[in-house]
Structure 1
Amino acid sequence: MTALVDDRRHLLTTGLARYTESGVVGRPSLASARKGRVVLASLVSSFGGCLSALK
């Protein structure tokens, strides 16, 4: 059985408070600067089309 904190299918519907008191979701101890750079680069790359549409 999957714990509620691991099953976030309804996060956008029910809100963050159902999953965490601190506002942290996931396992931040697994984060690294390299992973952060990769995620940020991906977000910048994928947002370009949205930004163009808003101009």
Structure 2
Amino acid sequence: MSQGVRAFGMRRSRYLGLAKTHLQHLSIAAAINLVRVGAWLDGDDLAPTCISAFQKLCFAA
């Protein structure tokens, strides 16, 4: 969801009506999947995630 909002502007629909809005969301989802497949084929690393305090404690031990 976050990627769709940042890269494709999914906050507001361009269309009125449920059917056209649904079609827009499906096309954006397909575009996001193509971007992700392209990144996977290029070997790009995933975004770093936060490490919890418990994980930091386990790594330190």
Larger radius of gyration: 2
TM over 0.5: no
Shorter-chain TM range is 0.3 to 0.5
TM-score (norm 2): 0.35
